Amino acid sequence: MKFDRLSRYALLGMVALAALLSGCTSYVTSQVTAFSDWHGGTDATRTYAFTHSPQQQNNLEQATYERAVGNELVSQAFRQVSASDAHYYVALWYGTHSQNVTVAQPAFMGPWPGPYWGRPLDPWGPWGPWGAYPPAYVSETYPVFTHALNVRITERATGKEVYNVTARTTTDDGSLVDVMPFLARSALAQFPLGNGVVTTVKLPVGKNGGIASNETAAAASAPAAASAPKPAQ
Protein backbone atom coordinates (compact mmCIF):
# COMPACT_ATOMS: atom_id res chain seq x y z
CA MET A 1 0.00 0.00 0.00
CA LYS A 2 2.76 2.44 0.89
CA PHE A 3 4.55 1.72 -2.37
CA ASP A 4 1.36 2.21 -4.39
CA ARG A 5 0.70 5.56 -2.73
CA LEU A 6 4.24 6.79 -3.32
CA SER A 7 4.03 5.65 -6.93
CA ARG A 8 0.79 7.58 -7.36
CA TYR A 9 2.33 10.74 -5.94
CA ALA A 10 5.38 10.31 -8.19
CA LEU A 11 3.13 10.04 -11.23
CA LEU A 12 1.11 13.09 -10.20
CA GLY A 13 4.34 14.97 -9.64
CA MET A 14 5.58 14.16 -13.14
CA VAL A 15 2.25 15.23 -14.63
CA ALA A 16 2.35 18.51 -12.73
CA LEU A 17 5.93 19.14 -13.79
CA ALA A 18 5.19 18.41 -17.43
CA ALA A 19 2.24 20.81 -17.38
CA LEU A 20 4.34 23.49 -15.71
CA LEU A 21 7.18 23.18 -18.20
CA SER A 22 4.86 23.16 -21.20
CA GLY A 23 3.18 26.37 -20.07
CA CYS A 24 -0.26 25.00 -21.02
CA THR A 25 -1.93 24.28 -17.68
CA SER A 26 -5.49 25.07 -18.73
CA TYR A 27 -7.54 22.68 -16.57
CA VAL A 28 -7.85 21.71 -12.92
CA THR A 29 -8.75 18.04 -12.57
CA SER A 30 -10.30 16.77 -9.35
CA GLN A 31 -11.27 13.33 -8.10
CA VAL A 32 -14.69 13.45 -6.47
CA THR A 33 -15.96 10.70 -4.16
CA ALA A 34 -19.55 10.71 -2.89
CA PHE A 35 -21.53 8.75 -0.32
CA SER A 36 -25.22 9.39 -0.53
CA ASP A 37 -28.57 8.66 1.08
CA TRP A 38 -30.23 11.54 -0.71
CA HIS A 39 -33.91 11.10 -1.48
CA GLY A 40 -34.65 14.36 -3.24
CA GLY A 41 -37.47 16.42 -1.85
CA THR A 42 -38.69 19.76 -3.14
CA ASP A 43 -36.87 23.05 -3.58
CA ALA A 44 -38.75 24.31 -0.53
CA THR A 45 -36.94 21.80 1.67
CA ARG A 46 -33.50 22.71 0.35
CA THR A 47 -32.77 25.20 3.08
CA TYR A 48 -29.47 24.98 4.91
CA ALA A 49 -27.16 26.59 7.44
CA PHE A 50 -23.44 26.08 7.90
CA THR A 51 -22.22 24.47 11.10
CA HIS A 52 -18.75 24.88 12.55
CA SER A 53 -16.25 23.12 14.72
CA PRO A 54 -14.86 25.18 17.63
CA GLN A 55 -11.75 25.94 15.56
CA GLN A 56 -13.90 27.23 12.67
CA GLN A 57 -15.88 29.74 14.71
CA ASN A 58 -15.29 33.38 13.71
CA ASN A 59 -12.67 32.24 11.20
CA LEU A 60 -12.13 34.38 8.09
CA GLU A 61 -10.70 31.50 6.09
CA GLN A 62 -13.73 29.40 6.94
CA ALA A 63 -16.06 32.22 5.89
CA THR A 64 -14.22 32.56 2.57
CA TYR A 65 -14.60 28.87 1.76
CA GLU A 66 -18.24 28.88 2.87
CA ARG A 67 -18.93 31.57 0.28
CA ALA A 68 -17.40 29.39 -2.43
CA VAL A 69 -19.48 26.38 -1.39
CA GLY A 70 -22.58 28.54 -0.91
CA ASN A 71 -22.31 29.77 -4.49
CA GLU A 72 -22.41 26.18 -5.71
CA LEU A 73 -25.29 25.23 -3.40
CA VAL A 74 -27.34 28.07 -4.91
CA SER A 75 -26.88 26.49 -8.33
CA GLN A 76 -28.45 23.32 -6.89
CA ALA A 77 -31.54 25.20 -5.61
CA PHE A 78 -30.34 25.41 -2.00
CA ARG A 79 -31.18 28.50 0.03
CA GLN A 80 -29.25 29.64 3.12
CA VAL A 81 -31.37 30.46 6.17
CA SER A 82 -30.86 30.73 9.92
CA ALA A 83 -29.79 27.60 11.78
CA SER A 84 -33.18 27.31 13.52
CA ASP A 85 -35.06 27.38 10.18
CA ALA A 86 -32.72 25.14 8.15
CA HIS A 87 -33.80 21.73 6.92
CA TYR A 88 -30.14 20.73 6.48
CA TYR A 89 -26.85 21.48 8.16
CA VAL A 90 -23.74 21.78 5.97
CA ALA A 91 -20.28 21.22 7.43
CA LEU A 92 -16.95 21.73 5.67
CA TRP A 93 -13.55 20.13 6.11
CA TYR A 94 -10.55 21.18 4.04
CA GLY A 95 -6.79 20.88 4.03
CA THR A 96 -3.57 20.57 2.06
CA HIS A 97 -1.00 17.79 2.14
CA SER A 98 2.46 18.47 0.73
CA GLN A 99 5.08 15.97 -0.32
CA ASN A 100 8.35 16.08 -2.23
CA VAL A 101 8.48 13.77 -5.23
CA THR A 102 11.81 12.63 -6.64
CA VAL A 103 11.88 11.79 -10.34
CA ALA A 104 14.79 10.34 -12.34
CA GLN A 105 15.49 12.49 -15.40
CA PRO A 106 17.72 11.41 -18.33
CA ALA A 107 20.80 13.51 -18.96
CA PHE A 108 22.53 12.74 -22.25
CA MET A 109 26.28 13.03 -22.11
CA GLY A 110 28.98 12.76 -24.75
CA PRO A 111 32.71 12.09 -24.50
CA TRP A 112 33.76 15.64 -25.32
CA PRO A 113 33.30 18.73 -23.19
CA GLY A 114 31.20 21.61 -24.58
CA PRO A 115 30.58 23.99 -26.07
CA TYR A 116 29.04 22.32 -29.12
CA TRP A 117 28.93 24.72 -32.00
CA GLY A 118 26.78 22.76 -34.43
CA ARG A 119 27.32 22.17 -38.11
CA PRO A 120 29.59 22.64 -39.96
CA LEU A 121 32.11 23.51 -37.23
CA ASP A 122 31.08 20.64 -34.98
CA PRO A 123 29.21 18.09 -37.14
CA TRP A 124 28.59 15.57 -34.37
CA GLY A 125 27.96 17.81 -31.36
CA PRO A 126 27.62 15.97 -28.06
CA TRP A 127 26.78 12.66 -29.75
CA GLY A 128 30.05 11.96 -31.52
CA PRO A 129 30.51 10.21 -34.88
CA TRP A 130 29.15 6.83 -33.69
CA GLY A 131 25.66 7.86 -32.57
CA ALA A 132 24.09 8.92 -29.31
CA TYR A 133 25.62 7.81 -26.05
CA PRO A 134 23.40 6.15 -23.41
CA PRO A 135 21.83 8.71 -21.08
CA ALA A 136 22.87 9.12 -17.50
CA TYR A 137 20.13 9.80 -14.96
CA VAL A 138 19.92 12.52 -12.34
CA SER A 139 17.32 12.80 -9.57
CA GLU A 140 15.19 15.94 -9.41
CA THR A 141 12.93 16.69 -6.43
CA TYR A 142 9.71 18.67 -6.80
CA PRO A 143 7.02 19.72 -4.29
CA VAL A 144 3.53 18.33 -4.88
CA PHE A 145 0.42 19.60 -3.06
CA THR A 146 -2.82 17.66 -2.67
CA HIS A 147 -5.78 19.88 -1.75
CA ALA A 148 -9.07 18.47 -0.45
CA LEU A 149 -12.55 19.74 0.35
CA ASN A 150 -15.22 17.69 2.10
CA VAL A 151 -18.87 18.78 2.19
CA ARG A 152 -21.15 16.93 4.63
CA ILE A 153 -24.93 17.45 4.63
CA THR A 154 -27.05 16.26 7.54
CA GLU A 155 -30.71 16.61 8.43
CA ARG A 156 -31.15 19.14 11.21
CA ALA A 157 -34.09 17.36 12.80
CA THR A 158 -32.56 13.87 12.98
CA GLY A 159 -28.79 14.43 12.64
CA LYS A 160 -28.79 11.82 9.86
CA GLU A 161 -26.06 12.18 7.27
CA VAL A 162 -27.62 12.30 3.81
CA TYR A 163 -24.71 13.38 1.62
CA ASN A 164 -20.94 13.32 2.00
CA VAL A 165 -18.71 14.35 -0.88
CA THR A 166 -14.97 14.95 -1.12
CA ALA A 167 -13.06 16.62 -3.95
CA ARG A 168 -9.27 16.31 -4.25
CA THR A 169 -6.80 17.78 -6.70
CA THR A 170 -3.01 17.69 -6.94
CA THR A 171 -1.03 20.69 -8.20
CA ASP A 172 2.37 22.33 -7.95
CA ASP A 173 0.74 25.33 -6.21
CA GLY A 174 0.55 25.26 -2.42
CA SER A 175 -2.28 27.82 -2.17
CA LEU A 176 -5.55 26.26 -1.03
CA VAL A 177 -7.46 29.52 -1.45
CA ASP A 178 -6.59 29.64 -5.16
CA VAL A 179 -7.90 26.15 -5.83
CA MET A 180 -10.95 26.26 -3.51
CA PRO A 181 -13.41 27.53 -6.17
CA PHE A 182 -12.44 24.56 -8.34
CA LEU A 183 -12.88 22.11 -5.47
CA ALA A 184 -16.28 23.56 -4.53
CA ARG A 185 -17.51 23.44 -8.14
CA SER A 186 -16.19 19.92 -8.61
CA ALA A 187 -17.74 18.63 -5.38
CA LEU A 188 -21.24 19.88 -6.22
CA ALA A 189 -21.30 20.05 -10.02
CA GLN A 190 -23.12 16.70 -10.34
CA PHE A 191 -25.16 16.81 -7.14
CA PRO A 192 -26.48 14.41 -6.08
CA LEU A 193 -24.11 11.62 -7.06
CA GLY A 194 -25.03 8.06 -6.17
CA ASN A 195 -23.68 6.25 -3.17
CA GLY A 196 -20.07 5.12 -3.57
CA VAL A 197 -19.56 6.92 -6.87
CA VAL A 198 -16.12 8.20 -7.90
CA THR A 199 -16.02 10.81 -10.63
CA THR A 200 -13.31 12.91 -12.26
CA VAL A 201 -14.19 16.54 -12.92
CA LYS A 202 -12.12 18.69 -15.26
CA LEU A 203 -12.62 22.46 -15.02
CA PRO A 204 -11.09 25.06 -17.38
CA VAL A 205 -8.91 27.83 -15.97
CA GLY A 206 -9.72 31.36 -17.09
CA LYS A 207 -7.28 34.14 -17.90
CA ASN A 208 -7.58 35.57 -14.39
CA GLY A 209 -6.84 32.21 -12.77
CA GLY A 210 -10.46 31.44 -11.84
CA ILE A 211 -12.89 29.02 -13.45
CA ALA A 212 -13.47 29.93 -17.09
CA SER A 213 -17.10 30.92 -17.54
CA ASN A 214 -17.34 30.18 -21.26
CA GLU A 215 -16.57 26.47 -21.02
CA THR A 216 -18.28 23.57 -19.33
CA ALA A 217 -16.82 20.93 -17.04
CA ALA A 218 -15.97 17.52 -18.41
CA ALA A 219 -16.63 14.59 -16.11
CA ALA A 220 -16.69 10.80 -16.16
CA SER A 221 -18.11 8.80 -13.29
CA ALA A 222 -18.31 5.16 -12.26
CA PRO A 223 -19.34 3.23 -9.15
CA ALA A 224 -16.46 2.73 -6.74
CA ALA A 225 -16.88 -1.06 -6.97
CA ALA A 226 -16.24 -0.94 -10.70
CA SER A 227 -13.17 1.27 -10.52
CA ALA A 228 -9.55 0.18 -10.29
CA PRO A 229 -8.67 -1.90 -7.21
CA LYS A 230 -7.42 0.93 -5.03
CA PRO A 231 -9.04 2.75 -2.13
CA ALA A 232 -11.02 5.90 -2.91
CA GLN A 233 -9.35 8.69 -0.94
List the pLDDT tens digit at each of the 233 positions of the chain. 443 554 454 445 444 444 444 445 589 999 999 999 998 777 788 999 999 999 999 999 999 999 999 999 999 999 999 999 999 999 999 999 988 888 777 765 555 555 555 555 555 555 555 555 566 778 888 889 999 999 999 999 999 999 999 999 999 989 999 999 999 999 999 999 999 999 999 999 988 888 887 444 555 444 443 333 333 33
Scanning 50-103, the segments in alpha helix (DSSP H) are 60-74
Give which of 61, 92, 7, 85 is closest to 175, Cα–Cα.
61
Q: Confirm whether 8 is domain-assigned.
A: yes
**Does 53 map to a domain?**
yes
**Total tally of structural domains belonging to the chain:** 1
Residue 32 lies in a domain: yes
231: in domain:
no
Residue 155 domain-assigned (yes or no): yes
> Is residue 232, in this structure, part of any structural domain at all?
no
Which of 181, 182, 148, 177 shows the shortest CA–CA distance to 165? Answer: 148
- Determine, yes or no, domain membership for 31: yes
Beta strands in 108-173 (DSSP E): 136-155, 161-171
Q: For the whole prediction, is pTM greater than 0.85?
A: no
Q: Which domain holds residue 72?
A: 2-110+119-226
List helix spans (H) across the chain: 2-22, 60-74, 176-188
Answer yes or no: is 233 within a domain: no
Distance from C-alpha of 91 to C-alpha of 57, rounded to nearest angstrom: 12
